[in-house]
Amino acid sequence: MRRHAAVLTPVALLLLGVTGPAWAQARPAPVVPPIQAPPVPAKPAPAPATQGQAPTEATLGVPLYPAGQFIESYDAGSGQRFYLFGASASFDDVVSFYKSALKQRGELVFEEPATHMFETGKFREETMAFPPSVTVKDYRWGGMQGYPNPKPNAEPARFRTIIQIVPVPTATPDIKR
């Protein structure tokens, strides 16, 4: 019982408002800096070289879906860019086109929302941010209406399917295309 009394006494004194000797009361509380939320990353800047102009199959090194519309390009880091295209065609139609055009099956990397990736070059971690690839994503999955067309009053208002192309960097000529 004495052991419990020794533990309870300081707690009881605190609850009764007895806070200890005067020297303990005069000590300032430690200053704890407020927790700050991490900075929100800025939207990647559009490609200055394209300025709204669609890249070509020659500049990207891969075939472009015939009815695809260029949306924008973004800095991917490590000197790479990725290019977004929208299509009104179904996910399955776009994937079939790339299976035929690239002569490879690619890989279904996500079932929901359906996302299919075709590697178009070897990934080198020391010089690349993303593997060279063509990625096709279904934006009508789960009741979504599609990817909004960023161009005001443009047709279509929403794209069923988005195509992301990460070309092989030009600084790495020994990589297969």
pTM of the predicted structure, to 2 decimals: 0.67
Provide the pLDDT for residue 153. Answer: 92
Provide the pLDDT for residue 106. Answer: 97
Alpha-carbon distance of 130 to 134, in angstroms, equals: 11
| Strands 133-138 and 147-148, bridge-based pairing | unpaired
The DSSP secondary-structure symbol of 46 reads B
Alpha-carbon distance of 48 to 2, in angstroms, equals: 78
Alpha-carbon distance of 129 to 166, in angstroms, equals: 10
List of the chain residues with pLDDT < 70: 1-52, 171-177
Provide the pLDDT for residue 16. Answer: 41
pLDDT tens profile 103-155: 999 999 999 999 999 999 999 988 899 999 999 999 999 999 999 999 999 99
Provide the pLDDT for residue 84. Answer: 97
Alpha-carbon distance of 158 to 31, in angstroms, equals: 52
